[in-house]
């Protein structure tokens, strides 16, 4: 079940990030989070630039290196 998700991460980022590794221990959470993330990315309500800015700011606030 996680192979497509890890493949996509490796293709997009170059490695499997820690949240995906953590979700691997709870497959139900993994499926729910991937559906949630895809729905946010596909949403047309918020402009794409605003989504990127919010994502960047949230990463800065938690000290994420991405």
Residue labelled with tokens 């890890």: 6
Tell me the pLDDT tens digit for each residue of 10-65: 888 888 888 777 777 887 887 888 788 888 888 888 898 998 898 889 889 988 77
Q: How confident is the model at residue 1 (pLDDT cuts 50, 70, 90)?
A: low
User: Smallest Cα–Cα separation from 5: which of 44, 45, 29?
Assistant: 29
pTM over 0.85: no
């Amino acid at each position: 079940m996680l192979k497509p998700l890890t493949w996509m991460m490796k293709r997009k980022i170059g490695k499997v990030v820690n949240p995906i590794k953590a979700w691997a221990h709870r497959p139900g959470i993994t499926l729910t989070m991937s559906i949630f993330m895809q729905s946010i990315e596909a949403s047309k309500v918020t402009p794409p630039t605003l989504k990127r800015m919010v994502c960047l700011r949230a990463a800065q606030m938690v000290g994420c290196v991405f």
